[in-house]
Amino acid sequence: MNHPRKITALARIVWGLAVCTGVGFAPFAAVAADVTPVFPPPPRLATTAAELAALRAALDFPRTRAAAIAAGEALLAKPVELPAGYGGWVFYYACPADGATLRANNAKEHQCPKCGKHFTDDKVVAAYRGQLHHAAERAAETLGWAFAYSGEDRYAAEVRGILVHLAREYPSYPSRLDRWGMRGFLARWGGRRYVQSLDEAVGIIRFAKGYDLTRTSPAWTAADRELVERDLFGLTAETLLAFNQDTINHQTWYNAGLLAIASVRADAALVQKVLTMRGGFHDQLQRSLGADGLWHEGTMAYHNYALQALLELVDAGRRLGLPLHDEPRLRAMLRAPLAAAYPNGVFPAINDSDPGDIRQFAGAWEWAWKTYREPLFGQAAAWKNPAKLTALLGPAATEISPLPTLSENLADAGLAILRAGSGPGATAVFLDYGPHGGGHGHPDKLNITLFANGREWLLDPGRLTYSVPEHKSWSKTTAAHNTVTLAGQSQHPATGKLLFFHVATNFSACAAECDTAYSGATLRRFLLLTPQFLADIFEVEATRPRQIDWFAHALAASLGPVESRDDGVPVAPGNDDGYQHLKDPRRWQITGGSRWDFAEDAKKPDAPRLRLWLADRAPEEIFTTTGIGYHLGQKAPCLIRRRHDTRTRFIVVYDISGRGDGLRQVAAAETDPAPLKITTPEATWDITLSRTAVRANVTRQP
């Protein structure tokens, strides 16, 4: 999921003018009216005099102060080793034979703790220096706080020593190498103090804070300050401005680093530039975020990473009198993760994601609560943490779930989310119909994930890890997803479109289609969710007969037929494009509907289960097999329905009671649009779905 680049009308006009007049790259037009920054006496980046006074008055200040001083003392007792030269690529500080992280015998000689091999080559030595640079950054900030709380100049003197050393070194660093030490195309991403500018951006914020906190100490001379501001902060700013990364999260960190530099150097022009340039603060809020507030790079990890940088930048700006936190899109970005989570707070692992829950945003939400005093953020920051709830919202606060219970279409992300019920009985199904997701996207158009009975059933495996071949051979195949393949091949990267999204009092429904995932074929999926069941109709319309495979992968211990059947035939459903990872296959030839259970425990008949009613009458082959879950050791049973046809329609109704007794009967007619009759113990549903609308008539059982 990703969203198309959007340029505001104003920007498009400016852009057009620039092209017409041959000016070339015009500066991006500021979206908001900008306020001139004011530069109060330091500190003004890490904190302000007013914030420090409030901290000192707080009840727990003695503890905060003692912790900061203890950390500062540790760094005085064992000062960091200062790097002589730029920092190399961090992943080179590992043994090529066994992957173990190396240990330093001294700056020039390193050893593998596993196999004992010695390393003295430039790559390893430079990678070690990279670690020293990171340690120096952490030390400068830590010592800065020790000085701020204690007023003792020896901490400031140590910060001065670190920063002056690096300012003396910086002009000697090579200009912009790539991570292999080369000057090729990728050197544009390179930095000078590190091999990527991203590391310089993140690191310079710590240095700037250490400087900001200590620069008023007599440990600093005017000449030292001039040197550091010019040759460390000034030259780093040049590095960060050399290559603009436009809408991506690296640029967000460049912006945060640049604003930190602008703050300590009292550089009003640089402040304006960071806020108003193309790829700058306002431009990224417009173009890197969807209207749904989700970051465009398609995973929660990137959303979070960009958000961290934005909060750094916003805090730096606020301390210069710029109300950057008032931007509505920043607030939407803070809210957005809540909308994209399951009822248990876990995110489906869409695209190159890892499994994770909303707690990764707790720090950002605490910031948002303190900034906006919006109770939703306080509740979100204190989610599943009663002590935090009391600390933030007061002793009288009661827990209110910050997670949504209503269905929602996240249009720019291309996610239709149907929700039913609340509390422990809450259900959610996510339909991914939107943009592919760039380099981190998966060929998963019309994939669904399903949460019910307090757990995830239908999963997307996410990225596994980048370091295993299955990242490509499994995660990035269509066969690993709960959607359809044609001719056993993965889909092309594609963007689908939503046909309708409908929320009624007793159900919600949506439909989406995509005609570019396979040439000459249209895929279309309809979903209708009630608290009792999920109806799922998948239509395929092609121009010639092909093998059509429908997939359901679940987190479960077992998968098997509900009706007693023979053991099936051990035939593999395929050999490549993800199919090679499907183990223990069984195949049945079935005509006329069947039922299958994914069960949490194979041995216990009363264990929670997801029952699938395959309701249509078309003859088909059914495979049960085992794929990969969230890591290579996790098995995820998989059901495949296979047909050879030009057009077909798979109708599945999922019983989400968790017990397998939530449905009495499911009947589908082979007509168009498809009427579906679903009988639960309480009611009979007559459902008609078409490309444009859904109708559902409910008759209560007498």
**Identity of residue 578:** G
Minimum Å gap between C-beta 114 and Zn ion is: 4
Residue with smaller CB distance to Zn ion, 142 or 299: 299
**C-alpha to C-alpha distance for 200 and 208, rounded to whole angstroms:** 12
DSSP assignments along 55-104, one per residue: HHHSTTHHHHHHHHHHHHHHHHHSPPPPPSS----GGGSB-TTT-PBPEE
Q: Which helix (H) or strand (E) holds 702?
A: none
Whose Cβ is closer to Zn ion: residue 98's or residue 661's? 98
Secondary structure letter of residue 474 according to DSSP: I
Shorter beta-carbon distance to Zn ion: residue 127 or 382: 127
Least distance (Å) from Zn ion to the CB of residue 248?
Answer: 20
For Zn ion, the closer of residues 509 and 554 by Cβ is 554
Instruction: Check residue 312 for interaction with Zn ion (CB under 5 A).
Output: no
151 vs 154: CA distance, rounded Å: 9
Amino acid found at 347: F
Q: Using CB under 5 A, which of the segments 190-198, 324-332, 367-375, 452-460 binds Zn ion? A: 452-460
With contacts defined by CB under 5 A, how many residues of the chain interact with Zn ion? 9
Distance from C-alpha of 418 to C-alpha of 428, rounded to nearest angstrom: 6
- Nearer Cβ to Zn ion, position 349 or 540? 349
Binding region for Zn ion (CB under 5 A) out of 78-86, 108-116, 134-142, 284-292: 108-116
Tokens matching residue 691? 């490309």
Nearer of residues 89 and 551 to Zn ion, judged by Cβ: 551
Which H, E and C letters describe 513-582, residue by residue? EECCCCCCEEEEEEEEECCCEEEEEEEEEEEEEEEEEEEEEECCCEEEECCCCCCCECCCCCCCCCHHHC
As measured in angstroms, the least distance from the Cβ of 100 to Zn ion is 5
Give the shortest CB-685-to-Zn ion separation in angstroms. 31
**Distance separating alpha carbons of residues 540 and 191, to the nearest angstrom:** 49
Out of 44, 209, 296, 442, the only residue in the binding site for Zn ion (CB under 5 A) is 442
95 binds Zn ion (CB under 5 A): yes
Residue of 51, 98, 109, 682 that binds Zn ion (CB under 5 A): 98
In the complex, what is the shortest distance from the CB of residue 459 to Zn ion, in angstroms, rounded to a whole number?
A: 9
Exactly one of 49, 115, 406, 504 binds Zn ion (CB under 5 A); which one?
115
Nearest approach, Cβ of residue 572 and Zn ion (Å): 22
Spatial neighbors of 678 by CB under 8 A, at least 6 apart, are: 533, 535, 653, 663, 665, 666, 684, 685, 687
Residue 173 DSSP one-character state: S
> Whole-number minimum distance, CB 584 to Zn ion, in Å?
22
Place of tokens 């399951």: 342
CA pair distance 382, 368, nearest whole angstrom: 12
Q: Which is nearer to Zn ion, 114 or 565 (CB)?
A: 114
| Helix/strand number for the chain, H first, E second | 17, 25
112 binds Zn ion (CB under 5 A): yes
Stretch of 53-61, 257-265, 459-467, 582-590 lying at the interface with Zn ion (CB under 5 A) = 459-467
| Residue 97 found at the interface with Zn ion (CB under 5 A) | yes
Q: How far is the CB of 349 from Zn ion (least distance, A)?
A: 7
By CB under 5 A, tell whether 540 contacts Zn ion: no
Instruction: Name which of 11 and 628 has its Cβ closer to Zn ion.
Output: 628
Closest CA to 656 of 476, 450, 503, 466: 450
Under rule CB under 5 A, residue 460 binds Zn ion: yes
Stretch that binds Zn ion, among 14-22, 328-336, 442-450, 498-506 (CB under 5 A): 442-450
Q: Cβ closer to Zn ion: 405 or 465?
A: 465
- Give min distance, CB of 359 to Zn ion, in A: 22
Interface residue with Zn ion, options 114, 604, 644, 659 (CB under 5 A):
114
String of contacts with Zn ion for each residue 38-77, x by CB under 5 A: ----------------------------------------
287-to-11, 278, 279, 374 alpha-carbon distances in Å: 11, 10, 9, 26
Torsion angle, alpha carbons of 214, 218, 222, 225, to 10? -20
Residue with smaller CB distance to Zn ion, 2 or 532: 2
Which residues, including other chains, have CB under 8 Å from residue 364's CB and lie 6 or more apart?
304, 307, 308, 311, 334
Nearer to Zn ion (CB atom), residue 96 or residue 545: 96
CB contact at 8 A, 547 and 644: yes
CB of 112 to Zn ion, least distance (A): 3
295: which residues sit within 8 A by CB, 6+ positions away?
A: 249, 288, 289, 302, 303, 306, 307, 333
Q: Token pair for residue 526?
A: 């309809």
Q: How far is the CB of 350 from Zn ion (least distance, A)?
A: 6
Question: Which span (110-118, 125-133, 208-216, 632-640) binds Zn ion, by CB under 5 A?
Answer: 110-118
State the pairing for strand pair 356-357/484-486. Answer: unpaired
Q: Smaller CB distance to Zn ion: residue 314 or 494?
A: 494
Could you list the residues that contact Zn ion (CB under 5 A)? 95, 97-98, 112, 114-115, 442, 444, 460
